[in-house]
Structure 1
Amino acid sequence: MGPVGKPDPELHEETLVSLPLDARKMHTFEHIGSLAAVAQSFTPRKTRSRLLMSIYIVLIKAKINVLLPFGPLAVILHYLTGKQGWVFFFSLIGITPLAERLGYATEQLACYTGPTVGGLLNATFGNATEMIISIYALKNGMIRVVQQSLLGSILSNMLLVLGCAFFAGGVVHYSKDQTFNKEERQNEEDVDEEDVPEITLWEAVSWLAVLTIWISILSGYLVDAIQGASESWNMPVAFISVILLPIVGNAAEHASAIMFAMKDKLDITLGVAIGSSTQISMFLIPFCVVVGWSMGKQMDLNFRLFETATLFITVLVVTFMLQEGTANYFKGLMLILCYLIVAASFFVHIDPTSSDD
Structure 2
Amino acid sequence: MFTRKVKSVLLMSTISWIHPQHLPLQINFPKQMGSVEEKIDLDFDEEIPFSSSPSARKVHNFDFETTHVLPPVNLVDSPLFKQIRIRPIRSIYIVLIRAKINILLPFGPLAILLHYVTGNHGWVFFFSLLGITPLAERLGYATEQLALYTGPTVGGLLNATFGNATEMIISIYALKNGMIRVVQQSLLGSILSNMLLVLGCAFFTGGIVHYKKVQVFNKAAAVVNSGLLLMAVMGILFPAVLHFTRSEVHFGKSELALSRFSSCIMLIAYASYLFFQLRFQHNLYSPIEEDGDNNENPDEEEEIELTQWEAISWLAVLTAWVSILSGYLVDAIQGASDSMNMPVAFISVILLPIVGNAAEHASAIMFAMKDKLDITLGVAIGSSTQISMFLIPFCVVVGWCMGIEMDLNFQLFETATLFITVLVVAFMLQEGTSNYFKGLMLILCYLIVAASFFVHVDPSNGDN
Asked if 1:216 is matched to 2:346, the reply is: no
Q: Which among 381, 401, 404 is matched to residue 274 of structure 1?
A: 381
| Contact 1:179–1:326 (8 Å) recurs in 2 | yes
Q: Which among 172, 195, 206 is matched to residue 169 of structure 1?
A: 206
Q: Which residue pairs with 2:127 in the alignment?
A: 90
Cα deviation digits, residues 202-245 of structure 1 (max 9, x gap): 21122111111111111011000000011111111111111011
Q: 1:215 to 1:355 in 2, by over 3 A?
A: farther
Q: 1:37 to 1:280 in 2, by over 3 A?
A: same
Paired residue secondary structure (2:149) = coil
Asked if 1:230 is matched to 2:337, the reply is: yes
Kindly state the Cα deviation for residue 265 of structure 1 after the two structures are TM-superposed: 1.6
Kindly state the Cα deviation for residue 130 of structure 1 after the two structures are TM-superposed: 0.5
Kindly state the Cα deviation for residue 131 of structure 1 after the two structures are TM-superposed: 0.7
Counterpart residue type for residue 118 of structure 2: T
Kindly state the Cα deviation for residue 136 of structure 1 after the two structures are TM-superposed: 0.5
Larger Cα Rg: Structure 1 or Structure 2?
2
| Contact 1:106–1:208 (8 Å) recurs in 2 | yes
| Contact 2:156–2:378 (8 Å) recurs in 1 | no
Q: Which residue pairs with 1:18 in the alignment?
A: none
Cα deviation digits, residues 323-353 of structure 1 (max 9, x gap): 2222222211111110011111111111114
Kindly state the Cα deviation for residue 354 of structure 1 after the two structures are TM-superposed: 5.9
Kindly state the Cα deviation for residue 251 of structure 1 after the two structures are TM-superposed: 0.3
Q: Which among 199, 218, 229 is matched to residue 181 of structure 1?
A: 218
Q: Which residue pairs with 1:316 in the alignment?
A: 423
Alignment partners' CA distance in 2, 1:290 and 1:40: 55
Counterpart residue type for residue 154 of structure 1: I
Asked if 1:151 is matched to 2:188, the reply is: yes
Q: Name whichever of 230-239 and 106-115 sits farther off.
A: 106-115
Asked if 1:349 is matched to 2:463, the reply is: no
Alignment partners' CA distance in 1, 2:211 and 2:302: 28
Paired residue secondary structure (2:355) = helix
Counterpart residue type for residue 183 of structure 2: V
Q: Which among 231, 256, 260 is matched to residue 367 of structure 2?
A: 260
| Contact 1:110–1:121 (8 Å) recurs in 2 | yes
| Contact 1:171–1:329 (8 Å) recurs in 2 | yes
Q: Name whichever of 198-207 and 181-190 sits farther off.
A: 181-190
Alignment partners' CA distance in 2, 1:202 and 1:307: 42
Kindly state the Cα deviation for residue 308 of structure 1 after the two structures are TM-superposed: 1.1
Kindly state the Cα deviation for residue 89 of structure 1 after the two structures are TM-superposed: 0.7
Q: Which residue pairs with 1:100 in the alignment?
A: 137
Q: Which residue pairs with 1:10 in the alignment?
A: none
Q: Name whichever of 166-175 and 193-202 sits farther off.
A: 193-202
Once the two structures are superposed, the pairs formed by residues 294-309 of structure 1 within 5 Å of their partners are 294-309=401-416
Kindly state the Cα deviation for residue 306 of structure 1 after the two structures are TM-superposed: 1.1
Asked if 1:332 is matched to 2:446, the reply is: no
Q: Name whichever of 285-294 and 181-190 sits farther off.
A: 181-190
Kindly state the Cα deviation for residue 147 of structure 1 after the two structures are TM-superposed: 0.7
Cα deviation digits, residues 85-109 of structure 1 (max 9, x gap): 1110110111011011011111212
Asked if 1:198 is matched to 2:235, the reply is: no
Kindly state the Cα deviation for residue 186 of structure 1 after the two structures are TM-superposed: 3.9
TM-score (norm 1): 0.84
Structure 2, unmatched stretches of 5+, are 1-62, 220-285
Cα deviation digits, residues 130-173 of structure 1 (max 9, x gap): 01100100111001100110010000000000111111112222
| Contact 1:237–1:354 (8 Å) recurs in 2 | no
Alignment partners' CA distance in 1, 2:178 and 2:66: 73
Q: Which among 165, 172, 181 is matched to residue 128 of structure 1?
A: 165
Q: Which residue pairs with 1:17 in the alignment?
A: none
What's the % identity of the aligned pairs? 79
Q: CA RMSD in A?
A: 2.8
Alignment partners' CA distance in 2, 1:102 and 1:166: 23
Q: 1:88 to 1:187 in 2, by over 3 A?
A: same
Asked if 1:47 is matched to 2:84, the reply is: yes
Counterpart residue type for residue 64 of structure 1: I
Q: 1:117 to 1:167 in 2, by over 3 A?
A: closer
Q: Which among 86, 92, 95 is matched to residue 58 of structure 1?
A: 95
Alignment partners' CA distance in 2, 1:320 and 1:120: 25
Counterpart residue type for residue 155 of structure 1: L
